[in-house]
Structure 1
């Protein structure tokens, strides 16, 4: 039976939780490098550089082990963490979604449609709607979802398989008609005014940021990737023709790409030193 994927929980002060940062760290610095193990002795100081107390990190890791996201393996007197297949699959989904969020893919004019029958099945899990929105789908009514980006269809099929809902699902492609009709559907499926501040806040936070050391680059990259996940979690990747002329999405995307490329090597150097430390 499928288990809900982790939310990006925040601390009472508004900052990301240790648990949420562990997921981002593992996705950005472990799986992105093609690895599936990491020494615990690297995870603790890595999150410490972001101001997370050692005790909070260890509690978060222990909980993830108990939940089946990680496996703890003794190596002498040290502990190595292994990503379980469940964790690997989750991080693969997140990475694929991140890549889609920065790609510029021409739209062919076709909408992806998902029909869930009966409609009562749709809210079987409270987080199902969040997962569909994460993959770019917006609701038109009970059990009816649309997306302009076809890149999330395979992930949604896999999700519905996990939930046992695939027999109740039908995927269609459709050309809706006049641009006015499409805009009306977009207004029904997505709240663009609520999404806009996610991009503008991201720009305000990370534009002009210039880390001076390898550690600062590591911290900046991890914080930026974590913040970007919160952005593309809500971004439906709509064709430019349906977005306002001053839509900040492209500027935010370019900022993310440029910063990531600039910080990649120094951040990796610091992370690799943590992993190699005795």
Structure 2
């Protein structure tokens, strides 16, 4: 049975952990560029730009190697890190989810339903629930999940297959008779009042940020992508018709796209520089 995928863990003081930042760095700057190896020194230097101590980064990397997310390959007196197939698969899922979070696909009116029958020795319920929520599903009751976004269905099938649970799952599509019934189901499945502050907090943090150097752009982009993942981890991507008129999701999405495009080139220049001297 597959080992649980990592959450975007935070330190006790509320900041992201070195481990979590390593995942974001690898997804944003390594896999996004189509690479599967990176110098260890580049990872250490990159997180150092964010104020992470070298020892904390090296300990995080050592754990990831031990857990099978990375492979360490000596090259002379230095070390390169290779993304394992397991890591590549995880980062692909994250990237697909990120892309879906900024795309605007018209809703076809169909709800995706997942019926998951109980099974002995299933993975921890809380962790599996987090993974389903990550793919846009909300719980209507024990073992009953619903999503408006069909983009997460294939990822959930793959996840359940990895866990040996696909035979215990039934996927359905459904059209609900009235908007009132749909709104009632949404209220059961998602706490929109708890999700709203994630968007407004993102806007407050990253609106008006103007990096002055390549390194500042690199740091800002990495921090923003990491924060955005924490937002879309909870975003169910509901059709606009079911969201309040003042829902901040669209504003946050535009801000993410605009900043990312603005910071892309200077941030990449800094990352290229780190790799050249690593």
TM-score (norm 1): 0.98
- In 1, are the aligned partners of 2:42 and 2:274 still within 8 Å (CA)? yes
SS of residue matched to 2:29: helix
- Residues 124 and 15 of structure 1: is their aligned pair in 2 closer, same or farther, counting only changes over 3 Å? closer
Distance 2:235 2:168 in 1: 26
Distance 1:176 1:65 in 2: 47
- In 2, are the aligned partners of 1:116 and 1:122 still within 8 Å (CA)? no
- Residues 169 and 28 of structure 1: is their aligned pair in 2 closer, same or farther, counting only changes over 3 Å? same
- In 2, are the aligned partners of 1:112 and 1:173 still within 8 Å (CA)? yes
Distance 1:149 1:32 in 2: 24
Distance 2:261 2:207 in 1: 14
Give the CA deviation at 1:115: 0.4
Give the CA deviation at 1:41: 1.1
TM-score (norm 2): 0.98
Give the CA deviation at 1:119: 7.4
Aligned length: 278
Give the CA deviation at 1:180: 0.4
- Residues 123 and 76 of structure 1: is their aligned pair in 2 closer, same or farther, counting only changes over 3 Å? closer
Distance 2:182 2:106 in 1: 17
Distance 1:95 1:214 in 2: 24
Runs of 4+ with deviation above 2 angstroms: 118-126
Give the CA deviation at 1:145: 0.2
RMSD of aligned Cα (Å): 1.2
Distance 2:203 2:126 in 1: 31
SS of residue matched to 1:127: helix
Give the CA deviation at 1:118: 3.4
Give the CA deviation at 1:13: 1.4
- In 2, are the aligned partners of 1:24 and 1:225 still within 8 Å (CA)? yes
Which residue is 2:60 aligned to? 60
SS of residue matched to 1:20: helix
Give the CA deviation at 1:8: 1.1
- In 2, are the aligned partners of 1:196 and 1:248 still within 8 Å (CA)? yes
Give the CA deviation at 1:126: 3.0
- In 2, are the aligned partners of 1:40 and 1:80 still within 8 Å (CA)? yes
Which structure 1 residue ranges, 5 or more long, are not aligned? Answer: none
Give the CA deviation at 1:246: 0.0
Distance 2:118 2:91 in 1: 31
Distance 1:75 1:122 in 2: 41
- In 2, are the aligned partners of 1:119 and 1:143 still within 8 Å (CA)? no
* CA displacement, residues 17-42 of structure 1 (integer Å, 9 cap, x when unaligned): 00000000000000000000000111
Distance 1:28 1:268 in 2: 10
Which structure 2 residue ranges, 5 or more long, are not aligned? Answer: none
- Residues 122 and 186 of structure 1: is their aligned pair in 2 closer, same or farther, counting only changes over 3 Å? farther
SS of residue matched to 2:224: helix
**5 Å matches for 1:90-105?**
90-105=90-105
Distance 1:25 1:123 in 2: 28
Distance 2:130 2:119 in 1: 16
Which residue is 2:11 aligned to? 11
- Residues 276 and 222 of structure 1: is their aligned pair in 2 closer, same or farther, counting only changes over 3 Å? same
- Residues 244 and 230 of structure 1: is their aligned pair in 2 closer, same or farther, counting only changes over 3 Å? same
SS of residue matched to 1:266: helix
- Residues 227 and 193 of structure 1: is their aligned pair in 2 closer, same or farther, counting only changes over 3 Å? same
Distance 1:257 1:182 in 2: 30
- In 2, are the aligned partners of 1:122 and 1:128 still within 8 Å (CA)? no
Which residue is 2:42 aligned to? 42
